[in-house]
């Protein structure tokens, strides 16, 4: 996708409304948030960076409303009340720099973070200065995220480099709220002084006093000040108007810039007002009228200028374009800190030389010599809004066409830029949009990926080798950590897999031998799983939620030689727990375990963690040493080898280890790809645990078969999930129903919807029809019902093109090559639309349960069909609808209660957020139904209200739940399935209720 700009030699005509000043808006919003009472800030700025300030302030508990073209800010009087533990500055440096210190004025500790590239933006000098003022904060590398303690600063003597005015402004904004006097001294060269002058002037508007020296290098601020409310009107944004002025200067023009009300002024008017002086000095014929500034001429040649960038650094990009058409040499001095902006703007503008320009970098001076003509070129904007807009103005003067990357960067500061330029007669269009799904990146889906028989001949290692060879620099994994996003390419992934695989061989891992890993959704999980399978060993993922006794049992059963665990994760000391297992604290010691590898790296191995024959290793140890190419070649796996050992949750007995071959898993992935029409344009988002089949197969394996990025997330947070989906352009998700419900709620509460998400396959539990309908509307994605098991992979799946009643009201239809049937308790196949035992015949069935041939035999009928343990109905079109588990059947005096139907109906009650219906023992009838309900926030539901609701919906009285238990949350396993056995335990001893409150 790029911005296409066609050179034009015609006269520019028309008019454009200059947007309001974002510089004033940032400061006004922040100052208003600190005043007790209501301030009105008229003149909305729709610049994205201002929206980030609004969002962060809202995150700190500030109520900000929009009425017409006015922000209405309900200030908190100097104490923020954050609703959550972290707030984001998005991609706005201004927001970040201003708010790090001010976050200390909160009632509780808060983390200030931002978009991914901010995690590489050092702010050490600002942090040190804030610490001098008494702000207590923590940062791992002097970059966001930054943890700020809720404690009003003490003031004191503070020094700060004069590099960035926003750092100085951030200190000045905070100082009046300190408990003691603050003195701020600027060291070294002072840049961007007008921006500091604007900060002080606007603080004055809100009743805050700042004393400053004549050279603006020393500030004295008295403590314990109180901001006052203020109503302000935002002036026009001269930084945005500059692009219209430049365009009009370089073409014969007759244009009007509406809203502009000055041709010169002071810093309080606008920090970039000096641009107007320079433009007039260069010969731009600007006339101030009652409507705005008009520029009219039949063609002019500009004059060169000498520009000191310390005052207006952001104007270098557009002024360098104007200088390219001046008679003589235009110089830009003191440019060093211009190279510290969103991009290195000096180097970025040297691209004008590719168009025939004459720019030369001479130390701290940029020299631009005027030329007669530019020609079209392929240019990069470096995702910098000012670079994009400036180069686009240059391209408008060129012969031919020019293209620019990151075409939407202008939205950061000047959302109506394209509209204005096209209105003047400069053709600018965003070309390409989202590439066609079949050809994004000029890639076609390999035929093996969508033909299951061909896919079954390949292992996951084959796919990795292919993508690492064909596209080594493309992104393979996007790891969305809570406070950072890490990426790894196919080439990097392949290299690290080979490294770890070689080390596993050195540790003695044999073909067909399980390697256990109890890890969350980290990139390291993917590396270890692939490394294990690359040497013909068996990947044995263990859910991070499993505790010591379960892990000890699984390690004994798997007989794994090597185990990978995190040092700590989500408050649990996993490595210490494993040490306890090895010490025999939880039953018999896993005798085959010889090596434990602790992640993430640089972990201090406990002195008491090495009893017996077990050796402990740090993860970094496995990323060193030579790759044994010959050993890897000798251990190349075949599709018929066992590749996966996956333990079931064990909710009905001891965990069972399900064995799968690599060829079977490849076939299963291809079957879903074919069924849904997934292709090389997709990106797979994986919130489900990689240690569960949903995440492992229908996340990681599908993504690697397609050769597309997999976006993994270890700690579930719907806001972070939406951010990861947007940034990674995720298109496909297969996950449990609660993940879908949380995403819908987050968007309904004001979060931005994911722009590219098109399919959400909901598994683990039936999707309530009301939720599916809301998700389709709110998320803009198709929601598809599905049914699968660890032992058979997906058996049924709907597709987005199915009738809504099928997509939302069923668990799908069989995938190609799979057969479904319903039988009675005697094995007799039942007719369509009859409830019975649900059974599957599939080419993707497992090899059996590890060391349990008895349980394997019990899982199949005599004629080879897998018994799911579910009750279901298959309609005449072949769609399956799961009606309950065999063990969940409620037999009320000989009459079976339709559990799934009652649950679906109750879910749509306006006060119900989640629901499960289970059997409640009864002496007379054997069983009665008990409804466990999670009420929506702020809502209540009583037993009488539930009965009235069911009565209104003409539900037979026999089927009514005879007890209502309102609880905080339904117990679910990692796959999202409700653990009804726990609810049945709770229901024991409960008595039926009667309408009117009697039992």
Which of the residues are catalytic?
Answer: 314
Report the distance separating Cα 757 and Cα 997, nearest Å: 47
Annotated ligand binding at 165? The verdict is yes
Query: CA-to-CA distance for 286 and 302, rounded, in angstroms?
Result: 13
386 marked as binding residue? yes
| Residue 121 marked in a binding site | yes
Residue among 898, 897, 902 nearest 912 (CA) = 902
Closest C-alpha to 928, from 965, 954, 881:
965
Kind plus residue range of the DSSP H or E element containing 76 = strand 70-76
CA-to-CA dists, residue 34 to 27, 92, 127, 155, angstroms: 11, 20, 21, 18
Taking alpha carbons only, the member of 917, 842, 934, 845 closest to residue 883 is: 917
Give whole-number Cα distances, 933 to 884, 905, 945, 963, in Å. 17, 12, 13, 11
Are the beta carbons of 557 and 850 closer than 8 angstroms?
Answer: yes
Q: Which helix (H) or strand (E) holds 98?
A: helix 93-102
Has 120 been labeled as part of a binding site?
Answer: no
The answer to whether the annotation marks 93 as part of a ligand binding site is yes
Q: CA torsion angle for 795, 541, 555, 602 (degrees, to 10)?
A: -170
Helices (H), 294-344: 316-323
Apex CA 689: angle with CA 524 and CA 88, to 5°?
A: 80
Q: Which neighbouring-strand residues pair with 375? A: 399
Q: For the chain, what is the largest distance between any 2 Cα atoms, rounded to a whole number of angstroms? A: 102
What's the CA gap between 390 and 491, in Å, rounded? 36
| Sheet with 401-404, side-by-side order of all strands | 378-379, 401-404, 2-6, 428-431
22-34 and 93-102 are packed helices; what angle lies between their axes, rounded to 10 degrees? 20
Rounded-to-integer distance, Cα 99 and Cα 55, Å: 12
Residue 314 marked as a ligand binder: yes
Q: Which CA distances in Å does 159 have to 182, 184, 613?
A: 11, 6, 57
- Cβ atoms within 10 Å of 259's Cβ, excluding its own: 18
Helix (H) or strand (E) holding 728: helix 718-728
Strands 306-308 and 329-333: parallel
Q: Which element (helix H / strand E) includes 247?
A: helix 238-250
| Cβ contacts of 114-120, under 8 Å, gap ≥ 24 | 114/88, 114/89, 114/90, 114/144, 114/145, 115/88, 115/90, 115/91, 115/727, 116/484, 116/485, 116/727, 117/91, 118/89, 118/91, 118/143, 118/144, 119/143, 119/144, 119/145, 119/483, 119/484, 119/485
Q: Would you say 345 is a known binding-site residue? A: yes
Cα dist from 650 to 545, 546, 646, 977, whole Å:
13, 11, 12, 13
433 is in an annotated binding site: no
Bridge partners, residue 329, by sequence = 369
Q: Residue positions in the annotated binding site for 3-phosphoshikimate?
A: 22, 27, 165-166, 314, 341
Binding site per annotation, positions: 22, 27, 93, 121, 165-166, 314, 341, 345, 386
Cite the annotated binding site for phosphoenolpyruvate by residue number.
22, 93, 121, 166, 345, 386
């Amino acid at each position: 996708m790029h911005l296409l700009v066609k050179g034009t030699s015609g006269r520019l005509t028309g008019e454009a409304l200059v947007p309001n000043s974002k510089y004033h808006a940032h400061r006004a919003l922040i100052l208003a948030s600190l005043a007790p009472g209501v301030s009105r800030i008229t003149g909305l700025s729709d610049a994205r960076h201002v929206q980030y300030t609004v969002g962060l302030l809202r995150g700190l508990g500030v109520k900000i409303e929009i009425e017409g073209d006015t922000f209405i800010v309900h200030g908190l009087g100097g104490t923020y009340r954050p609703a959550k533990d972290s707030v984001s500055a998005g991609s706005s440096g201004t927001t970040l720099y201003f708010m790090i210190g001010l976050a200390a004025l909160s009632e509780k500790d808060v983390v200030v973070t931002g978009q991914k590239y901010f995690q590489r933006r050092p702010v050490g000098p600002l942090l040190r200065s804030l610490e001098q003022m008494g702000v207590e904060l923590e940062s791992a590398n002097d970059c966001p995220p930054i943890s700020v303690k809720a404690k009003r600063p003490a003031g004191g003597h503070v020094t700060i480099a004069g590099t960035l005015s926003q750092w100085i402004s951030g200190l000045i904004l905070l100082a009046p709220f300190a408990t003691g006097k603050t003195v701020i001294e600027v060291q070294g060269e002072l840049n961007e002084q007008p921006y500091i002058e604007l900060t002080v002037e606007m603080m004055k508007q809100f009743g805050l006093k700042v004393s400053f020296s004549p050279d603006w290098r020393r500030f004295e601020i008295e403590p314990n000040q109180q901001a006052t409310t203020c109503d302000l009107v935002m002036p026009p944004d001269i930084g945005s108007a500059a692009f219209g002025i430049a365009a009009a200067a370089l073409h014969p023009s007759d244009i009007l810039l509406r809203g502009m009300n000055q041709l010169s002024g002071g810093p309080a008017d606008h920090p970039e007002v000096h641009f107007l002086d320079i433009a007039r000095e260069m010969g731009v014929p600007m006339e101030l009228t009652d409507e705005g500034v008009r520029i009219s001429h039949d063609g002019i040649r500009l004059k060169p200028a000498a520009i000191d960038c310390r005052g207006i650094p952001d104007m270098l990009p557009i002024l360098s374009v104007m200088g390219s058409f001046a008679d003589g040499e235009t110089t830009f001095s003191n440019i060093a800190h211009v190279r510290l902006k969103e991009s290195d703007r000096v180097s970025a503008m040297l691209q004008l030389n590719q168009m025939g320009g004459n720019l030369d970098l001479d130390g701290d001076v940029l020299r631009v010599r005027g030329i007669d003509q530019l020609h079209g070129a392929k240019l990069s904007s470096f995702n910098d809004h000012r670079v994009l807009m400036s180069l686009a103005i240059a391209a408008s003067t060129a012969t031919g066409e020019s293209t620019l990357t990151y075409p939407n960067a202008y939205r950061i500061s000047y959302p109506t830029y394209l509209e204005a330029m096209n209105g003047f007669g400069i053709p600018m269009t965003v070309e390409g949009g989202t590439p066609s799904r079949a050809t994004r990146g000029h890639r076609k889906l390999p035929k093996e990926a969508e033909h299951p028989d061909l896919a079954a001949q390949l292992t996951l290692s084959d796919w990795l080798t292919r993508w690492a060879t064909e596209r080594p620099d493309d992104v393979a994994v996007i790891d969305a950590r809570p406070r950072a996003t890490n990426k790894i390419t196919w080439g990097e992934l392949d290299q690290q897999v080979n490294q770890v695989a070689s080390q596993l061989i050195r540790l003695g891992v044999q073909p067909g031998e399980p390697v256990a890993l109890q890890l969350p959704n980290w990139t390291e999980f993917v590396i270890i799983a692939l490394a294990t399978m690359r040497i013909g060993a068996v990947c044995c993922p263990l859910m991070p939620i499993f505790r010591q006794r379960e892990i000890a049992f699984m390690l004994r059963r798997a007989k794994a030689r090597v185990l990978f665990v995190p040092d700590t994760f989500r408050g649990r000391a996993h490595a210490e727990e494993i040490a306890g297992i090895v010490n025999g604290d939880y039953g018999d010691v896993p005798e085959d375990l010889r090596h434990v590898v602790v992640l993430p790296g640089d972990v201090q191995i406990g002195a008491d963690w090495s009893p017996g024959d077990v050796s402990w290793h740090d993860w970094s140890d496995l990323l060193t040493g030579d790759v044994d190419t010959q050993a890897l070649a000798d251990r190349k796996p075949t599709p018929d080898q066992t590749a996966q050992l996956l333990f079931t949750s064990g909710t009905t007995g001891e965990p069972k280890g399900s064995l799968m071959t690599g060829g079977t898993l490849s076939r299963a992935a291809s079957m879903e790809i074919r069924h849904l029409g997934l292709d090389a344009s997709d990106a797979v988002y994986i919130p489900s645990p990689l240690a569960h089949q949903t995440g492992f197969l229908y996340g990681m394996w599908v993504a690697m078969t397609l050769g597309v990025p997999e976006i993994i997330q270890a700690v579930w947070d719907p806001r972070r999930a939406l951010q990861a989906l947007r940034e990674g352009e995720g298109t496909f998700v297969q996950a449990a129903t609660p993940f879908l419900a949380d995403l819908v709620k987050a968007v309904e509460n004001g979060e931005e919807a994911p722009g590219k998400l098109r399919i959400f396959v909901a598994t683990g539990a039936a999707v309530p029809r009301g939720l599916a309908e809301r998700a389709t509307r709110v998320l803009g994605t198709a929601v598809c019902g599905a049914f699968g098991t660890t032992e058979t992979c997906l058996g049924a799946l709907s597709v987005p093109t199915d009738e809504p009643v099928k997509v939302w009201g069923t668990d799908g239809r069989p995938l190609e090559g799979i057969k479904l049937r319903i039988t009675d308790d005697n094995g007799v196949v039942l007719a369509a639309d009859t409830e019975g035992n649900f059974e599957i015949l599939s080419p993707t069935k497992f090899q059996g349960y590890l060391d349990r041939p008895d349980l394997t035999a019990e899982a199949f009928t005599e004629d080879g069909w897998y018994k799911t343990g579910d009750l279901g109905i298959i309609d005449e079109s072949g769609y399956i609808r799961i009606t309950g588990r065999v063990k969940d059947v409620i037999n009320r005096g000989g009459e079976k209660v339709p559990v799934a139907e009652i649950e679906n109906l109750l879910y749509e009650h306006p006060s119900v957020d989640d629901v499960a219906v289970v059997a409640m023992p009864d002496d007379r009838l054997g069983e009665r139904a008990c409804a466990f309900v999670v009420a929506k926030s702020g809502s209540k539901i009583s037993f009488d209200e539930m009965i009235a609701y069911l009565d209104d919906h003409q539900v037979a009285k026999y089927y009514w739940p005879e007890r209502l238990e309102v609880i905080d949350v339904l117990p679910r396993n990692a796959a999202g399935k409700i653990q009804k056995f726990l609810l049945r335990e709770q229901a024991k001893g409960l008595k039926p209720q009667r309408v009117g409150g009697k039992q």
